Amino acid sequence: MSTWKKIKSWPLLLPVVALILVMAVNIIHDAATGVNPLSFFSISLRETTTNGTILYGRLIDVINRGSEIAILAIGMTLVVSASAGTDISVGSVMSLCASAMCVTLAGYGVSSTTTLAKPLVIGLLAAILMGIVCGAFNGTLVAHLSIQPMVATLILYSAARAIGLLLCNDLIVYVRNPSFAFIGSFLGPIPTPIVITAICIAIVSVVLKKTALGMYIQSVGINARASRIAGLNSKLLIFLAYTLCGVFASIAGIVASSRITSADSNNIGLYLEMDAILSVALGGNSLGGGKFNLAGSIIGAYTIQAITTTLYALGVSSIQAPVYKAVIVIIIVVIEAPPFKAFLKRHSAAFASKGV
């Protein structure tokens, strides 16, 4: 009984169970189609003409493709924890940052280039700066003007993509330069996005472990007023959470744009805000703010990517996939909803008394 309780109160229960379920679906699907049931987990080295020897396998693919979601999930976790609301602009901000970077690298009005107009670093800085500006804009609206987070971020959700298109002069800007493409390809045998994600996660977890920032953000999320009275600058902390979310969105934008070596304003980060929110919810974090669990969110992010990859493997197209994800979101939030929990408790009590 006590072990059962321990398992039940384990914070990573939900994401890990979800991940195991997804893997099980994969194994069953592979077994049913006659492929080696464990092919999902097999990792091999492969020779390619463009990138040399690289790691290859579906698991690697999931971790690689899940990089953007995992990076976004870090920022989203902080935002959800601090303000009890979500930032729905992350997908659009990603696209805007990618546009800003590619326009800086290619020059305004150029649709395709192989040589960089400016050093790569300046392009990356432009993207991150754009992310900071967007995050600060959201943060100001939420923290200083006390506007509901989702309405405040709705402004950039709709405008950021449009501004990106304007920056790109309504073109898809291609930057076919190896130094730029490197961010989205391979570092030795390992895909670079995985390395970037690992660095992001490492920095954030060290900061959260070594400083009290994580605790401050949680306390603001639990009760903003009480934390202010206790001497915390609630507004600054909420502002900081949104700004950080913007920065992570810009990093995700850089990775996404480098993968396709272009800034496709209409498609970069499309529906990714949904994935980011979903990974936070799947990670066992309450969308009502307060306590958060970064590890959960990150496992959640990779679970989402595993779900997406599995859906593609099952023959669902990318524009149809949102249906399944929407159903999963609803199931998770219903399970977490207090009235549903109360209903279950009432019924299980009634059931128990009947059984006796």
Partner 1 sequence: MKANSKKSFNSNTLLLVITIVLFCVLYVGGCIAYGSKGFTHFQTFLNILITNAGLICVACGMTCVMLTGGIDISVGALIAMDCMMLAVGMEKGIGAVTMVLIVLLVGVVFGVVQGFLVGYLEIQPFIVSMAGMFFCRGMTAVICTDQVSITEKINATFYKWANTKVTIPFGGYVNNKGKYMAPYVRPGVIVAILVLIIIFIMLRYTKFGRSLYAVGGSAQSAAMMGLNVKKIKMGAYMLSSILCSVGGVCYCLNTMAGSVTQALGLEMDAISSAVIGGTLLTGGVGNVIGSFFGVLINGTISSIVKTNGKLASSWPNILTAALLFIFIVIQSIFAAVRARRK
Residues 127-156 that bind partner 1 (CB under 8 A): 141, 145-148, 150-152, 154-156
Say which residues have a Cβ less than 8 Å from residue 247's Cβ, sequence separation at least 6: 75, 128, 131, 132, 135
Say which residues have a Cβ less than 8 Å from residue 124's Cβ, sequence separation at least 6: 101, 254
- Enumerate the H helices of 171-293 as residue ranges: 178-181, 192-210, 213-222, 224-229, 234-259, 272-282
Q: Which stretch binds partner 1 (CB under 8 A): 121-129, 235-243, 328-336, 345-353?
A: 328-336
**265 burial via Cβ count (<10 Å: 0-12, 13-18, 19+):** buried
Task: Give the x/- contact pattern for partner 1 in 305-324, rule: CB under 8 A.
Answer: ------------x-xxxxxx
Distance from C-alpha of 231 to C-alpha of 295, rounded to nearest angstrom: 28
Minimal distance in Å, beta carbon 95 to partner 1?
12
Burial 112-143 (b: 16+ CB within 10 A, else e): ebeebeeebeebbbbbbbbbbbbbbbbbbbbb
Minimal distance in Å, beta carbon 225 to partner 1?
14
**94 burial via Cβ count (<10 Å: 0-12, 13-18, 19+):** buried
One-letter identity of residue 207: V
Backbone angles phi, psi at 233, to 5 degrees: -90, 90
Distance from C-alpha of 202 to C-alpha of 66, rounded to nearest angstrom: 16
Residues 49-68 that bind partner 1 (CB under 8 A): none
For partner 1, the closer CB: 59 or 69: 69
Minimal distance in Å, beta carbon 165 to partner 1?
4
* DSSP three-state, residue 231: coil
Minimal distance in Å, beta carbon 233 to partner 1?
19
Among 34, 315, 339, 355, binds partner 1 (CB under 8 A): 339
When asked if residue 159 is in the footprint of partner 1 (CB under 8 A), the reply is: yes
Among 327, 344, 349, 350, binds partner 1 (CB under 8 A): 327
Minimal distance in Å, beta carbon 326 to partner 1?
4
When asked if residue 158 is in the footprint of partner 1 (CB under 8 A), the reply is: yes
Distance from C-alpha of 271 to C-alpha of 325, rounded to nearest angstrom: 10
Among 88, 134, 240, 301, binds partner 1 (CB under 8 A): 88
- Residues touching partner 1: how many (CB under 8 A)? 47
Task: Give the x/- contact pattern for partner 1 in 162-181, rule: CB under 8 A.
Answer: xx-xx--xx-----------
CB atoms within 10 A of CB 9: 8
Residues 265-284 that bind partner 1 (CB under 8 A): 271, 274, 277
Contact 90, 72 (CB under 8 A): yes
CB atoms within 10 A of CB 103: 23
Among 29, 235, 291, 325, binds partner 1 (CB under 8 A): 325
Task: Give the x/- contact pattern for partner 1 in 100-129, rule: CB under 8 A.
Answer: ------------------------------
When asked if residue 330 is in the footprint of partner 1 (CB under 8 A), the reply is: yes
When asked if residue 290 is in the footprint of partner 1 (CB under 8 A), the reply is: no
The residues of the shown chain that bind partner 1, judged by CB under 8 A, are: 85-86, 88, 141, 145-148, 150-152, 154-159, 161-163, 165-166, 169-170, 271, 274, 277, 287-288, 317, 319-327, 329-330, 333-334, 337-340
